[in-house]
Amino acid sequence: MSKYIVFDGMDGSGKGTQMKLLEKKFGNSIIFTREPGGTPFAEEIRRVVRDNVLASESTTLNNFLLFLASREELQHNLVAPTLKSGKHVFSDRGDSSTYAFQLCGEEHEELTHLFNLSREHIFLNRQSPDLYIVFDLPAEMSRRRALQDVARKTNHFDVRDLGFYERVRKGFRKFAVHMPVKFVDATRTPEEIHQEVLELLAEEGIGLSG
């Protein structure tokens, strides 16, 4: 049975490194995607909401709706058809990020009801993620790594105080109360983290032979 796995977590947690290792290991046997983005149209929305400096002048609700629009596009044109074809989907971030970063980190929990409604709509006739693997870091370490990462392309979401990172970390914990989430200690070496990720995927029936 095809599985939909979301990889998420704190900034600077090494999530991108783990995704690259998985893509190298599994190759074309699994479809890799990301949020926001993942299809040509969704990538255009990504450029507007994430990479365009004008987005910093917009409202929280407008940016929130753009993230939802990108997710709807990805779900309809990539995730749902791929799962139906029998292939697994691995996504770099998902609705877990919307909850942790926007609702909790940016302290806009008034959007929770809209978030829940959108989730019900998007997954009404499609498959919700079977598992969220969240790479966890202490807030101070997350902020330090994110700011020191010279390879990271900064955007208007990146300049945050320590309190923001603490709220995001708590946000992932709150999200996990009602969702299938497994937390991975991202303070360890990439090799140790990768081994645990492979074990979690094996529990879902995903390996090099399946």
Tens digits of residue pLDDT in 144-165: 988 887 666 665 566 689 999 9
For 4-203, CATH number? Answer: 3.40.50.300
Sequence-distant (6+) residues with CB within 8 A of 74 are 33, 35, 36, 37, 38, 39, 42, 91
pLDDT of residue 56: 79
> Which two structure tokens, joined as six digits, stand for 177?
């109360």
Does 210 score more than 60 pLDDT? no
pTM (predicted TM-score): 0.92
Please list the residues that pair with 34 across neighbouring strands: 92
